[in-house]
Copies of this chain bind each other. A is one copy, B any other.
Amino acid sequence: MVLRASLEKKEEKERVRLGLLRAALQLAAAHGFASIGLREVSREAGIAPTSFYRHFADMEELGTALIRELLGRELRGLAERAGAAPREALVPALVDAALAALTRDAELMRFAVAERVGAHASLRALLRAEQAELARAISASSGTARDDQAPPPWAADAAAGVLFDFCGKALDEAPARRAALREPAIWAIQQLLAASESRP
Protein backbone atom coordinates (compact mmCIF):
# COMPACT_ATOMS: atom_id res chain seq x y z
CA MET A 1 0.00 0.00 0.00
CA VAL A 2 2.77 2.37 0.92
CA LEU A 3 4.67 1.53 -2.26
CA ARG A 4 1.49 1.89 -4.31
CA ALA A 5 0.80 5.36 -3.01
CA SER A 6 4.40 6.42 -3.52
CA LEU A 7 4.21 5.33 -7.14
CA GLU A 8 1.01 7.27 -7.70
CA LYS A 9 2.62 10.41 -6.35
CA LYS A 10 5.63 10.00 -8.60
CA GLU A 11 3.41 9.28 -11.57
CA GLU A 12 1.39 12.42 -10.94
CA LYS A 13 4.54 14.52 -10.84
CA GLU A 14 5.70 12.88 -14.05
CA ARG A 15 2.33 13.67 -15.63
CA VAL A 16 2.64 17.37 -14.79
CA ARG A 17 6.24 17.42 -15.99
CA LEU A 18 5.25 15.89 -19.31
CA GLY A 19 2.49 18.50 -19.55
CA LEU A 20 5.12 21.22 -19.26
CA LEU A 21 7.25 19.60 -21.97
CA ARG A 22 4.31 19.26 -24.35
CA ALA A 23 3.14 22.83 -23.64
CA ALA A 24 6.63 24.13 -24.38
CA LEU A 25 6.76 22.22 -27.67
CA GLN A 26 3.39 23.59 -28.71
CA LEU A 27 4.32 27.19 -27.96
CA ALA A 28 7.80 26.82 -29.44
CA ALA A 29 6.31 25.58 -32.70
CA ALA A 30 4.30 28.78 -32.93
CA HIS A 31 6.74 31.47 -31.73
CA GLY A 32 10.13 29.83 -31.39
CA PHE A 33 11.67 28.32 -28.30
CA ALA A 34 13.89 31.32 -27.58
CA SER A 35 10.91 33.65 -27.22
CA ILE A 36 8.71 31.68 -24.84
CA GLY A 37 8.85 32.04 -21.07
CA LEU A 38 8.13 29.92 -18.05
CA ARG A 39 4.92 31.83 -17.25
CA GLU A 40 3.57 31.16 -20.73
CA VAL A 41 4.47 27.49 -20.53
CA SER A 42 3.05 27.07 -17.04
CA ARG A 43 -0.20 28.76 -18.06
CA GLU A 44 -0.50 26.44 -21.06
CA ALA A 45 0.19 23.43 -18.84
CA GLY A 46 -2.42 24.54 -16.30
CA ILE A 47 -0.21 25.12 -13.27
CA ALA A 48 0.87 28.22 -11.36
CA PRO A 49 4.05 29.89 -12.65
CA THR A 50 5.76 29.26 -9.34
CA SER A 51 5.17 25.53 -9.68
CA PHE A 52 7.39 25.49 -12.76
CA TYR A 53 10.42 25.51 -10.45
CA ARG A 54 9.37 22.17 -8.93
CA HIS A 55 10.34 20.59 -12.26
CA PHE A 56 12.96 22.76 -13.99
CA ALA A 57 15.38 25.48 -12.92
CA ASP A 58 14.70 27.46 -16.10
CA MET A 59 13.64 27.12 -19.72
CA GLU A 60 17.04 25.94 -20.85
CA GLU A 61 16.85 22.96 -18.51
CA LEU A 62 13.42 22.18 -19.91
CA GLY A 63 14.93 22.34 -23.39
CA THR A 64 17.62 19.81 -22.58
CA ALA A 65 14.95 17.50 -21.14
CA LEU A 66 13.01 17.78 -24.41
CA ILE A 67 16.06 16.62 -26.33
CA ARG A 68 17.26 13.90 -23.98
CA GLU A 69 13.85 12.37 -23.36
CA LEU A 70 11.33 13.01 -26.13
CA LEU A 71 13.60 13.61 -29.10
CA GLY A 72 16.14 10.95 -28.21
CA ARG A 73 13.40 8.32 -28.19
CA GLU A 74 12.05 9.58 -31.52
CA LEU A 75 15.41 9.44 -33.27
CA ARG A 76 16.22 6.02 -31.89
CA GLY A 77 12.90 4.88 -33.34
CA LEU A 78 13.88 6.31 -36.73
CA ALA A 79 17.18 4.50 -36.75
CA GLU A 80 15.53 1.29 -35.63
CA ARG A 81 12.89 1.30 -38.34
CA ALA A 82 15.44 2.16 -41.02
CA GLY A 83 17.78 -0.57 -39.80
CA ALA A 84 14.97 -3.14 -39.90
CA ALA A 85 14.49 -2.61 -43.65
CA PRO A 86 16.44 -4.68 -46.20
CA ARG A 87 19.79 -3.03 -46.84
CA GLU A 88 18.94 -1.79 -50.32
CA ALA A 89 15.77 -0.13 -49.00
CA LEU A 90 17.51 1.52 -46.04
CA VAL A 91 17.31 5.09 -47.30
CA PRO A 92 13.65 5.08 -48.41
CA ALA A 93 12.77 3.48 -45.08
CA LEU A 94 14.70 6.17 -43.24
CA VAL A 95 13.04 9.03 -45.12
CA ASP A 96 9.60 7.46 -44.73
CA ALA A 97 10.20 7.02 -41.01
CA ALA A 98 11.12 10.71 -40.82
CA LEU A 99 7.94 11.62 -42.71
CA ALA A 100 5.91 9.54 -40.29
CA ALA A 101 7.57 11.29 -37.35
CA LEU A 102 6.74 14.69 -38.89
CA THR A 103 3.10 13.68 -39.08
CA ARG A 104 2.91 12.09 -35.65
CA ASP A 105 4.73 14.82 -33.73
CA ALA A 106 5.30 17.90 -35.89
CA GLU A 107 5.98 20.10 -32.87
CA LEU A 108 8.82 17.93 -31.64
CA MET A 109 10.43 17.75 -35.06
CA ARG A 110 10.09 21.50 -35.57
CA PHE A 111 11.85 22.02 -32.26
CA ALA A 112 14.66 19.65 -33.21
CA VAL A 113 15.21 21.20 -36.62
CA ALA A 114 15.17 24.76 -35.31
CA GLU A 115 17.26 24.39 -32.17
CA ARG A 116 19.98 22.48 -33.98
CA VAL A 117 21.03 25.98 -35.10
CA GLY A 118 19.11 27.96 -32.48
CA ALA A 119 20.00 30.49 -29.83
CA HIS A 120 21.16 28.22 -26.98
CA ALA A 121 24.65 26.82 -27.47
CA SER A 122 23.98 23.99 -25.01
CA LEU A 123 20.92 22.84 -26.95
CA ARG A 124 22.85 23.04 -30.22
CA ALA A 125 25.58 20.81 -28.79
CA LEU A 126 23.08 18.25 -27.50
CA LEU A 127 21.26 18.13 -30.82
CA ARG A 128 24.51 17.74 -32.76
CA ALA A 129 25.29 14.79 -30.50
CA GLU A 130 21.88 13.28 -31.28
CA GLN A 131 22.56 13.80 -34.99
CA ALA A 132 25.93 12.08 -34.63
CA GLU A 133 24.29 9.12 -32.93
CA LEU A 134 21.72 8.84 -35.70
CA ALA A 135 24.56 9.00 -38.22
CA ARG A 136 26.35 6.18 -36.41
CA ALA A 137 23.23 4.03 -36.62
CA ILE A 138 22.81 4.78 -40.34
CA SER A 139 26.45 4.03 -40.95
CA ALA A 140 26.23 0.71 -39.16
CA SER A 141 23.20 -0.34 -41.21
CA SER A 142 24.59 0.69 -44.59
CA GLY A 143 28.03 -0.93 -44.62
CA THR A 144 29.24 -2.11 -48.01
CA ALA A 145 30.82 -5.42 -48.78
CA ARG A 146 34.09 -4.04 -50.16
CA ASP A 147 35.95 -1.67 -47.85
CA ASP A 148 37.72 0.11 -50.69
CA GLN A 149 34.33 1.30 -51.92
CA ALA A 150 33.05 2.48 -48.54
CA PRO A 151 32.19 6.18 -48.24
CA PRO A 152 34.30 8.24 -45.82
CA PRO A 153 33.28 8.24 -42.16
CA TRP A 154 31.70 11.67 -42.37
CA ALA A 155 29.29 10.62 -45.12
CA ALA A 156 26.66 9.39 -42.68
CA ASP A 157 26.78 12.66 -40.76
CA ALA A 158 26.26 14.61 -43.97
CA ALA A 159 23.36 12.27 -44.76
CA ALA A 160 21.83 12.95 -41.35
CA GLY A 161 22.22 16.66 -42.04
CA VAL A 162 20.32 16.27 -45.31
CA LEU A 163 17.62 14.37 -43.44
CA PHE A 164 17.17 17.23 -40.96
CA ASP A 165 17.13 19.70 -43.84
CA PHE A 166 14.42 17.62 -45.47
CA CYS A 167 12.40 17.69 -42.24
CA GLY A 168 12.67 21.46 -42.07
CA LYS A 169 11.38 21.89 -45.60
CA ALA A 170 8.64 19.31 -45.20
CA LEU A 171 7.33 21.01 -42.06
CA ASP A 172 6.58 24.11 -44.14
CA GLU A 173 4.57 22.17 -46.70
CA ALA A 174 1.04 20.86 -46.32
CA PRO A 175 1.18 17.08 -45.70
CA ALA A 176 -0.18 16.38 -49.19
CA ARG A 177 2.68 18.27 -50.84
CA ARG A 178 5.44 16.59 -48.83
CA ALA A 179 5.59 13.64 -51.22
CA ALA A 180 7.33 15.90 -53.74
CA LEU A 181 10.25 16.33 -51.35
CA ARG A 182 10.63 12.62 -50.67
CA GLU A 183 12.37 11.64 -53.90
CA PRO A 184 15.04 14.39 -53.80
CA ALA A 185 15.84 13.56 -50.18
CA ILE A 186 16.20 9.86 -50.92
CA TRP A 187 18.37 10.61 -53.93
CA ALA A 188 20.67 12.97 -52.01
CA ILE A 189 21.11 10.63 -49.05
CA GLN A 190 21.77 7.65 -51.33
CA GLN A 191 24.28 9.71 -53.26
CA LEU A 192 26.13 10.46 -50.02
CA LEU A 193 26.04 6.88 -48.74
CA ALA A 194 26.84 5.25 -52.07
CA ALA A 195 30.17 3.56 -52.57
CA SER A 196 32.43 6.17 -54.15
CA GLU A 197 32.91 4.37 -57.44
CA SER A 198 33.25 7.62 -59.32
CA ARG A 199 36.38 8.65 -57.38
CA PRO A 200 38.85 5.70 -57.42
Contacts and interface: CB of A to CB of B under 8 A. Distances in A.
A191 interface: yes
Contact of A195 (B35, B120, B121, B198): B198
B196 A191 contact: yes
Contacts of A104: none
Interface residues of A, number: 38
Interface in A162-200: 162, 164-165, 168-169, 172, 184, 187-188, 191-192, 194-199
A161 interface: yes
Contact of A117 (B31, B125, B168): B168
A111 to B, nearest CB: 10
Interface in A107-129: 113-114, 116-121, 124-125, 128
Contacts of A113: 117
Contacts of A197: 197-198
Contacts of A199: 194
A183 to B, nearest CB: 8
